[in-house]
Amino acid sequence: MRIPASEWKRKAVHAGMGLFALTLKWLDWKQAAVLALAALLFNWYAMPRFGRGIYRDGTRRRDTGIVAYPLMVLVLLLLFRNNIYIVAAVWAMMAFGDSAATILGRLIEGPSLPWNSGKTWVGLLGGWAFGGFAAVVTFAFVSGGLEPAAVIILLVGGALYAFLESVPAGIDDNLVAAVPTAVALYALAEGWGGWSGLSAKGPLVIAGLIVNLVVGVATWRLGVVAPSGAVAGILVGWLVVVFGGWGAYAVLWTFFLVGTIATKWGYRHKTRRGTAQADRGRRGAAHVFANVGVPAALLLLGVRPIAYVAALAAALADTLGTEIGALYGRRPVSLLGFGRVSPGTPGAVSIAGLAAGLAGAAAVGGVAVLTRLLPARSIPVVALSGLAGSLAESLVLTLGRSRGLSLDHEFSNAFNTLVGALVALEIVLSIEGHRLFIPVVGP
């Protein structure tokens, strides 16, 4: 028996709670948020007393997944309170897609995923099928109607949720997949601005493909990237050219070139100290998508260019902070309590690393200005946002280590770029609105 009784009970409760998504047909966002908050408090305080039978680890005081579930429903309601149909659809994916992925993956098994040996293709496809179907049905019930385009968008969202749920992040998948999927659904529903007029970009599409094919093969043959990194780089680089233009591509190359030099700089010394990047510093597909996946997605979704630039600035700030800090950081400290730690400790920061990271983030902003992607006044915003993303990653790694969690390195890098982008948008929108910007998705 591959699935213990406690797991069957856990998934039954998990899916059963998804039926409450149907109540969004009658509840407004405030009423639903109050109920979600009540569920969160119940799971936080009451479940440890009598609900340990569905815990995966009965020795722990609280189960992260049980707490994260209502928390993400609450976050979705607050962010998408003007698009409650999206909340209902993603809630259905969380409830039924996640449950189906676990049950089918364990019962049928089959080949493991290349990026996560602990999960299978059967689980991924089952999660997509059940999550997508549940999202379509729930959306139709709550909204009172369903257009063919909505079905396609929801199925695409279901595929995205299933993929994000399968990524080995090191934290509960509810915290990883829900919000990005909701943002993608909203962007698709509003009209994917980056795709409009794509047919008129024929020469750019072809030129971008040729350039990236040449660059990908060259960097692979020179030993700068691994074969998988070359393939991923070709895809991501081509998307950046098509949806961002050559200016955005120059910013991407700034990150790649400066980051590669920093990784190679003093490599032997870093190897002796045990802080060197594995595989002689060659970047694989996981590195590419972790550092450039979020920036590329921002371009595809038509988000402001400063978000893309700030995301790459955060990626470079993190790379320089790690590589330069490992070489020249004399007294690295932890962001929790600022106690001394050994060089190479995940989440450690040093003056040399912070200075290098800030300079690298400013350089990314400078290239964006030179290529006319951003105005000159954006450089300080990009620099500060890049540094903020890098510090956020360090803080999360330190917090995770203090709680006994081992966060995935690639997930941490992607989190870093997302924070950099969000900080930049927050600063710009607050300046434009002359007050602190509070995000609400929709009119």
* Nearest Cα to Cα of residue 286 among 98, 120, 116, 105: 116
* Nearest Cα to Cα of residue 187 among 195, 177, 197: 195
pLDDT digits (tens, 9 = 90+) for 73-90: 999 999 898 889 999 999
Q: Give the span between the Cα atoms of 254 and 258, in whole angstroms.
A: 6
Q: Give the span between the Cα atoms of 268 and 278, in whole angstroms.
A: 12
Q: Write down the pLDDT at residue 280.
A: 60
DSSP β-ladder status, 116-120 and 112-113: antiparallel
Direct distance between the N- and C-terminal alpha carbons of the chain, in angstroms, rounded to an integer: 50
Q: Write down the pLDDT at residue 195.
A: 43
Q: Write down the pLDDT at residue 366.
A: 96
Q: Is the pTM of this model over 0.75?
A: no
Identify any residues that bridge with 112 across adjacent strands, giving them in sequence order. 120
Are 67 and 40 within 8 A, CB to CB? yes
DSSP per position, 315-347: HHHHHHHHHHHHHH-SS-B-TTTT-B--TT-TT
Q: Write down the pLDDT at residue 59.
A: 74
Tokens 């609400």, residue located: 440
Query: In 3-state terms, what secondary structure has residue 284?
Result: coil
- Give the residue extent of every domain in the chain: 5-191, 203-433
Give the residues of the chain that fall short of pLDDT 70: 1, 169-171, 191-202, 267, 269-282, 329, 343-344, 404-407, 440-443
Q: Which two tokens stand for residue 203?
A: 């020469």
